A and B are shown apart, each in its own frame.
Chain A
Amino acid sequence: MTISSDDLETLLERASDGISFDGLRIAETDGDYSLETPDNEWHGLDEAALRETLETCEEYVTNWRYWQETVGGEGTARRAFLRWCEHAPLPDADEHTTEGLAVPTRYDALRNGIDRQWGQLSITVRFVDVDDPDGERVYDLWHVDDADSDLVDLEVYDDPRDARDIATYDEDGRYRPLKTAPTLVSGWAFTGLSGAELVETIGFLYPATIANWHRELRGNLDIDHWTETAERQTGIYDVIDELPREAVDWMAEACCVDSQCLRRREWEYDEDDDLDVDGGDGPFPCREPCSLVVAAARKWAILESEEEHTYELELTTSELNQLEELIDAVAEGRTDEIREADVYDGANRYRARYLRAKRVGEGGLEATQVDE
């Protein structure tokens, strides 16, 4: 028997108020119980008969206990997220969301583990006890790149707070101020987390993504567009609302595309004034310009206030093309990949040093302003 007597007692206590959850229905009138599952219904049961009958629908009972007693938190993002993890129906989702799986189907799948992807994370939800499941679930978490790795090859953690260190540096040891940059390092795993711990761990890796996903799911994601965000800034960021409209496009193209950020930009220039750049396909909604973008916008606002001039400088056609290649290589973070001897690549270090030796004198680039 996998239904514990405690579970049964709790269920009976709640039954008088009526139970209706994930296909399980129990109602009581004057000591007479009725019980329903999607496949069966029983009426006129006394307490003893109810107990007996419940034994035949143990999956529904342990499922009820896991969600209503262990997880709880009706209406919370945490609960919705954990249900999403195992494809359970999401009662608080708006109509666009597909229906979830029924209990028996989920229970079959949970024996093998159900995988879900959240940004660069892979989540597996499974039963604690696979042979004799009592409904208790645990969650494993690792980098999608490690999906096929053996646990022994990974650094294994069980404290959510360890996720902070994992999220701090990229592969090259550089600080990651933007947690949703697609540069999360691999090589680690959290195993056997409770639902609450899973949500906490993800909170450290991708802060607020669950809360905003949940709002989006319910159709109440609040979006602050560029102009609102820019206008509310004070102090040294006061200037960012002077950034020209087209520069905001360039900025979004520079920062908010899939190659740079896993968030999907939902903010636009203004409520009915979309930016030209696509918001991307990132899994997490981005509801307003982040602090990194605001900080960068300040720099661009100052730079864009400069006047343009016409300059004259001597370059061969290949040198002009090389400038383009250099900019492109830096913008794409490609400089590390260019081989030492690959002098065919304009962004090769020797090529860049040669160009500097030839065209950049003591006073910088040898260019003359011609529009004075």
Chain B
Amino acid sequence: MQALVIAAHGSHLNPDASDPTYAHADTIRETGAFDEVREAFWKEEPHFREVVRTLEADEVFVVPLFISEGYFTEQVIPRELRLDDWDPEKWDSDGTSASQATLEADDVGKTIHYCGPVGTHDAMTDVIVQRAETAMEDPDVGEGVGLSVVGHGTERNENSAKAIEYHSERIRDRDRFDEVEALFMDEEPEVDDVTDYFESDDIVVVPLFIADGYHTQEDIPEDMGLTEDYRLGWDVPAEVDGHRIWYTGAVGTEALMADVVLERATDAGADIGDARETVRDLAGSVADADHEPSAGTGAGD
């Protein structure tokens, strides 16, 4: 038996924070690839501390629904899962290349395959592109369009920017969009000046966040000048300094994210049959068309 745990932040204050986690877990449940699929949270229940003991399977794949490698993926989650032998060295990562580490959770007698976060997986690049397609309702979006991937920026975590830059670079290499820029809330180059960084009339802005909340629904739209006051809402596209800005919320809510979760688990050795095709069908993916073979995972791909 094998189980999947999707580990996310959650919130004590905002009930919507866990929506993407539930949505992606449900998509994966539909595929039947795992005997058990469980959501787990830092701020909600079941907590990271409790989740593994609720499983019957001996093989557990834990996929963090986080954007970057850092404090949560390297310290909090492994500690709270009681992975005693964990050491960030086991991921042997430069900040965007974590794959997985196999560890024993002695207190519950299970083998835990602790995966890198979804945000730094190569397949995430497709999700960002898909987000742009969804935003512009155009599966061929690219020509004459600039794409901005927006992240939080430093906030005590140097890897936070790395993930944003990593995917921007990969999309740039595909030569699909006229321009691709990584922009940030808390560091240069800043999302406030988004129009300074683009020549294109149309700019798609994709925030690399897991859930919609304060940043994606209040801060970023106001900072970019889409609206004076987030409570008034904004248009998609909205006119700013002679550009059309196509902004939709957090990329983490994109249905195709379930595919990234599955890729993480497959990379770690999960046997998921043809679940990825099912998920891509469910997500109505158009990203398949330009999915580079090298972006895949090898096993089961």
Are A208's CB and B12's CB within 8 A? no
Q: Is B50 an interface position by the 8 A CB rule?
A: yes
A292 contacts the other chain (CB 8 A): yes
C-alpha spacing A364/B41, complex, angstroms: 40
Give the residue of A177, A203, A222 whose beta carbon is less than 8 angstroms from that of B44: A177
- Mark each residue of chain A from 63 to 88: 1 if its CB lies under 8 Å from any CB of chain B, else 0: 00000000001001110000000000
Chain B residue at smallest Cβ distance from A292 = B12
How many interface residues does A have (CB within 8 Å)? Answer: 28
Are A232 and B79 in touch, CB under 8 angstroms?
yes
User: Of the 9-residue stretches B51-59, B165-173, B250-258, which lies at the interface with chain A?
Assistant: B51-59
Which single residue of chain A is at the shortest CB-CB distance from B29?
A161
- Tell me which of B22, B50, B75 contacts A164 (CB under 8 A): B22
A288 to B80, CA, bound (A): 12
Bound Cα distance from A178 to B44, whole angstroms: 7
Which of A169, A175, A179, A288 is B49 in contact with, Cβ under 8 Å? A288
**Interface size for chain B: under 10, 10 to 19, 20 to 34, or 35 or more residues?**
20 to 34
Determine if B110 is an interface residue (Cβ-Cβ < 8 Å).
Answer: no
Nearest-Cβ distance from residue A239 to partner chain B, whole angstroms:
16
| CB-based contact B12/A235 at 8 Å | no
Assess whether B46 is in contact with A208, with CB atoms less than 8 Å apart.
yes
Known A-B contacts A164-B22, A179-B45, A208-B46; the reply to A76 vs B53 at CB < 8 A is: no
Q: Which residues of B contact A295 (CB under 8 A)?
A: 12, 43
The distance in angstroms between the C-alpha atoms of A70 and B233, with both chains bound, is 53
**How many Å from the CB of A245 to the closest CB on chain B?**
23
A76 to chain B, nearest CB (A): 5
Count chain B CB atoms within 10 A of each CB in A210, A222, A291, A295 and give the residue with the most: A291
How far apart sit A222 and B82, CA to CA, in the bound complex (Å)?
13
Chain B neighbourhood of A164, CB < 8 A: 22
Q: Which A227-268 residues have a C-beta within 8 angstroms of B?
A: 232, 234-235
How close is B79's CB to chain A, nearest CB, in angstroms? 7
Q: In whole Å, how far is A196's beta carbon from the nearest beta carbon of chain B? A: 10
The winner among B41, B49, B75 for most chain A CB atoms within 10 A is: B49
Task: Give Cα A305–Cα B195 distance, bound, in whole angstroms.
Answer: 47
CA distance A295 to B12 in the complex (A): 9
* B50 with A207: CB separation less than 8 A: yes
A290 in contact with B47 (CB, 8 Å):
yes
Report whether A175 and B13 are in contact in the complex, using a CB–CB cutoff of 8 Å.
yes
CA distance A291 to B50 in the complex (A): 11
Check A16 for interface membership: any CB of B closer than 8 A.
no
Instruction: List the A residue with the shortest CB-CB distance to B49.
Output: A288
Give Cα A175–Cα B18 distance, bound, in whole angstroms: 12
User: For window 95-122 of chain B, which residues contact chain A by CB distance below 8 Å?
Assistant: 107
Please report which residues of chain A, range 172-200, place their CB below 8 angstroms from some CB of chain B when the two chains form the complex: 175, 177-179
Asked if B295 lies at the interface with its beta carbon under 8 angstroms from chain A, I say no
Q: Which residue of B lies closest to A288 (CB)?
A: B49
User: How close is A285's CB to chain B, nearest CB, in angstroms?
Assistant: 12
Residues of chain B from 1 to 41 with CB closer than 8 A to chain A in the complex: 11-15, 22, 26, 41
User: How far is B22's CA from A168's CA once the two chains are assembled, in angstroms?
Assistant: 13
B50 touches A235 (CB 8 A): no
Q: Do B14 and A175 touch across chains, with their CB atoms under 8 A apart? A: yes
Tell me which of A78, A212, A234 contacts B56 (CB under 8 A): A78
Q: Is B76 an interface residue (CB 8 A)?
A: yes
Pick the residue among B12, B22, B79 that contacts A177 (CB under 8 A). B12
**A128 at the A/B interface (Cβ < 8 Å)?**
no
Q: Give the contacts of B65-107 with A (CB-CB under 8 A).
A: 71, 75-76, 79, 107
Q: Are A215 and B53 in contact (CB under 8 A)?
A: yes
- Complex CA gap A169/B26 in Å reads 20
Query: CB-CB contacts of B127-156 with A at 8 A, as 1s and 0s?
Result: 000000000000000000000000000000
> Could you tell me the distance in whole angstroms from the C-beta of B74 to the nearest C-beta in chain A?
11
Which chain B positions have C-beta within 8 A of A207? 45-47, 50, 54
Q: Specify which chain A residues have a CB less than 8 angstroms from the CB of B107 in the assembled complex.
A: 222
Tell me whether A208 and B45 are in contact (CB under 8 A).
Answer: yes
Interface membership of B42, Cβ < 8 A: yes
Known: A164-B22, A222-B107. A203 touches B12 (CB 8 A): no
Known A207-B50, A211-B53, A211-B54; contact A291-B43, beta-carbon cutoff 8 A: yes
Give chain B nearest CB distance to A181 CB in angstroms.
11
Q: Do B71 and A208 touch across chains, with their CB atoms under 8 A apart?
A: no
* Chain B residues within 8 Å of A, Cβ to Cβ: 11-15, 22, 26, 41-47, 49-51, 53-54, 56, 71, 75-76, 79, 107
A-B contact sample (7 more), CB < 8 A, given A177-B11, A211-B53: A175-B13, A175-B14, A212-B53, A222-B107, A291-B44, A291-B47, A292-B12
6 nearest A-B residue pairs (beta carbon)? A207-B46, A208-B50, A207-B45, A177-B12, A175-B15, A211-B53
